[in-house]
Amino acid sequence: MARYLLTAGPTMEAIDPVRFLSNRSSGQMGYALAAALVARGHEVCLVSGPVNLSTPEGVTRLDVESALEMLAACEAEWPSCNGVFGVAAVADYRPRAVSEAKLKRQAGEDLVLEMTPNPDILATLALGKGSRLAVGFALETHNAEQEARRKMSAKNLDYLVLNGVEAQGAEASAVELFSQQGSRHPLGPMPKARLASALLDLILGPNNTSSHA
Ligand code: C5P
């Protein structure tokens, strides 16, 4: 039995006390993986952005909103985990400053929002992972395979799951699993719960233990 850290859902980046920037991630794939890991007898610490999903039984869930909060929660849990699945759709940028007061409309004037890059949570964890398992997800519209392989090595991942755009918010999905060793495995289309289980069969192997520590 191992303990896995899993990020899921979107992040929510505040603009002012009432507005934010976010994305369309529903969190379904991450939650399905969390449930599938528990079903295999593993412990799961799920660091979740705002989603409309109930916590799978047996999963420890930490709710966060922004990428910075997600990173802090993950860094606190990572030392006690054997591997990480980065399924969250982390916002690439956040507003440089969060206005304390609600922004007012200025008639006829453009509003320019300055954005600053968010840290890469999965890369931050995986670059210092040692022999622990790190799995990422990516959604690419162009040069998908090349981008998948580039991200896998830039972030020091053992596996990368490539999603099609149609996966967003959908019940079912088709993916390709790339491994650092060079393998490529298409899966689906199938419901996300079955897909989660099929991915774990390939990643954790028939003995349900990754070859990573
Ligand atoms: O956004 P990108 O395609 O680079 O995401 C690939 C992987 O990296 C995903 O697993 C995602 O959860 C993770 N990621 C992250 N922090 C970011 C951006 C991406 O953990 N700031």
DSSP 3-state of 165: helix
Closest CA to 33 of 127, 159, 166, 148: 159
The answer on pLDDT for 174 being more than 70 is: yes
Count CA atoms within 13 Å of residue 60 on its CB side: 11
105-141 pLDDT, tens digit each: 999 999 999 999 999 999 999 999 999 999 999 988 8
In b/e form, how buried is each residue of 28-42, taking b as 16+ CB within 10 angstroms?
bbbbbbbbbbbebeb
Q: For residue 190, what pLDDT is reported?
A: 93
Instruction: State whether the beta carbon of 2 lies less than 6 angstroms from ligand 1.
Output: no
The answer on pLDDT for 213 being more than 80 is: no
How would residue 164 be classed by pLDDT, with cut points 50, 70 and 90?
confident
The predicted model gives 174-188 an average pLDDT of 95
Q: How far apart are CA 4 and CA 30, in angstroms?
A: 12
What's the mean pLDDT when you consider all of the chain? 95
Phi, psi (rounded to 5 degrees) for 103:
-65, 140
Contact 125, 135 (CB under 8 A): no
How would residue 169 be classed by pLDDT, with cut points 50, 70 and 90?
low
Q: Whose CA is nearest to atom 2 of ligand 1?
A: 138
Q: What residues contact 169, with CB distance under 8 A and at least 6 apart?
A: 24, 25, 26, 28
Best of 121, 133, 157 for a ligand 1 pocket test (most atoms within 8 Å of beta carbon): 121
Looking at domain 3-96+116-203, its CATH class is alpha beta
The answer on pLDDT for 211 being more than 80 is: no
Instruction: State whether the beta carbon of 90 lies less than 6 angstroms from ligand 1.
Output: yes
Question: For the chain, what percent of residues have pLDDT higher than 70?
Answer: 97
The predicted model gives 63-81 an average pLDDT of 98
Q: How far apart are CA 76 and CA 90, in angstroms?
A: 18
DSSP 3-state of 52: coil
Single-letter amino acid code for the residue at 199 = L
Residues in the chain: 213
Q: How far apart are CA 33 and CA 19, in angstroms?
A: 30
Task: Indicate the DSSP class of residue 56.
Answer: P
DSSP 3-state of 47: strand
Is-catalytic flag, 23?
Answer: yes
The answer on pLDDT for 167 being more than 70 is: no
